[in-house]
């Protein structure tokens, strides 16, 4: 169950970084909405990480959490913020995913 908390926390990390990008482009009340959503996702992400580390090894949990957030944030940047999607960027996203899967596999033993 704590792996589910960890994955949800990583997804919330994607949420709070995406909110920062949206807030940067917004004005007036829209900007405050995105900053408010940032705070909600931030607290949810940290809370879920704290819950997950009650039974998962801290180093593994943190690496997986940040990995999910990093991969998801790069993908959100490519899809929604028109960031470049060149070969090396995609290549390193896949190596990061492989590392996350590897950490999960090693910590299961």
CA distance 20 to 79: 15
Q: What is the pLDDT of residue 107?
A: 78
Closest CA relative to residue 107, chosen from 65, 47, 71, 75: 65
15 φ/ψ angles, rounded to the nearest 5 degrees: -60, -45
pTM attached to this predicted model: 0.87
Query: Are 103 and 77 a contacting pair, CB within 8 Å?
Result: no
What residue ranges do the domains of the chain occupy? 1-107
pLDDT for position 100:
86
Query: Are 57 and 65 spatial neighbours (Cβ–Cβ below 8 Å)?
Result: no
Residue with tokens 């909110």: 19
Give the pLDDT of residue 108: 66
* pLDDT tens, the chain, 109 aa long: 999 999 999 999 999 999 999 999 999 999 999 999 999 999 999 999 999 999 999 999 999 999 999 999 999 999 988 999 999 999 999 999 999 888 888 876 5
pLDDT for 67 equals 93
Q: What per-residue confidence (pLDDT) applies to 109?
A: 52
């Amino acid at each position: 169950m704590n792996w589910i908390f960890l994955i949800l926390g990583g997804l919330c990390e994607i949420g709070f970084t995406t909110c920062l990008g949206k807030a940067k482009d917004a004005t007036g009340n829209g900007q405050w909405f995105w900053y408010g959503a940032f705070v909600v996702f931030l607290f949810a992400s940290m809370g879920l990480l704290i819950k997950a580390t009650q039974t998962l090894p801290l180093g593994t949990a943190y690496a997986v959490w940040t990995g999910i957030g990093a991969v998801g944030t790069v993908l959100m940047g490519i899809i929604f913020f028109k960031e470049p999607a060149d070969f090396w960027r995609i290549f390193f996203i896949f190596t990061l995913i492989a590392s996350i899967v590897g950490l999960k596999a090693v910590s299961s033993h």
